Copies of this chain bind each other. A is one copy, B any other.
Amino acid sequence: MHILITGAAGMIGRKLTERLVIDRALNGQSIDKLTLIDIVTPVRPASFSDHVKTRAADLATPGVAEKAISERPDAIFHLAGVVSGEAETDFEKGYRVNLDGTRALLEAIRLAGGGYKPKVVFTSSIAVYGAPFPYAIPDDFQLTPLTSYGTQKAISELLLADYNRRGFLDGVGIRLPTICVRPGKPNKAASGFFSGIIREPLAGQEAQLPVADTVRHTHASPRAAVGFLIHAAGLSREQLGPRINLAMPGVCCTVAEQIEALRRVAGDKVAARIKRVPDELVMRIVSGWAERIEAKRATALGFKAEASFDDIIRAHIEDELGGKVA
């Protein structure tokens, strides 16, 4: 089986690659080839080097998508995209990468011909929803995004569903909740503090909390996100029906509950490293975000997030810190 990953150099792309290299199989079929593309050349996974192609390429550039699928990958994980903040500050780049890039990939698949019909797993986002929200967002809630990024994700979902319906591919879109704990350095994303208040204290550093600890949000670990992608690739058309874009489950909790979980898992000393530094701008942005996602269909289809925020913290300690807390 040949697998293509777009956006393979990103955090989720790297973790998905690592997992596939360990599993050596997807949906019970052994993997004999990986193609990894991104704007920067993805790192070659060490233990799989004979069968890996890596390439730096932009799907929105004419010819790139055709080349990416010229060897007819059986499964495509389409993760490539510019993030929310960049799509908002650079309007044209956001539409070019997140919309035109996705459409170019779908068109290349459609025009490949010869009965080619790959599995396409697309990472969407809860940014497709826009306030005001009901108490919990049901699976049939409208998409009224309040960012260009969310708009581009919602449009890509619609395209994927139409190409799926027409039989050009077997598609599934998964709306990821906020991924927490993101490894690496703090970033300036408004959602960054959700990871920062766990990651920095566990690494012996102070972290700033810019919002009230009553703020409620839904989270899934990077490990769970990779699990969603792999589970999505195994769903059949019959299981999915015509509504192929699914909100993913997550752990819904307040910031106060996040902090209590950190205290339980890592102790008072670690939890004390969180400093309250209110930030009006972050508070305002976060107030427009979805709090609770029902994700009934995804749960019924077998998608699994962590059972508690404690588990999300433990996953981070195991996967990123070698099991050790500073």
Contact = CB atoms under 8 A, between A and B. Distances in A.
Contacts of A210: none
27 contacts: A91-B166, A130-B242, A130-B243, A134-B140, A139-B142, A140-B141, A140-B142, A141-B142, A142-B142, A142-B143, A142-B243, A143-B143, A144-B161, A144-B242, A145-B158, A145-B162, A146-B165, A148-B162, A148-B166, A151-B158, A151-B159, A151-B162, A154-B158, A155-B155, A155-B158, A155-B159, A158-B158
Interface of A: 91, 130, 134, 139-146, 148, 151, 154-155, 158-159, 161-162, 165-166, 242-243
Contacts of A145: 158, 161-162
A147 B141 CA distance: 20
A91 B243 CA distance: 20
Q: What is the copy number of this chain in the assembly?
A: 2
Contacts of A130: 242-243
A18 B298 CA distance: 51
A248 to B, nearest CB: 16
A94 to B, nearest CB: 10
Contacts of A140: 134, 141-142
A321 to B, nearest CB: 40
B151 A161 contact: yes
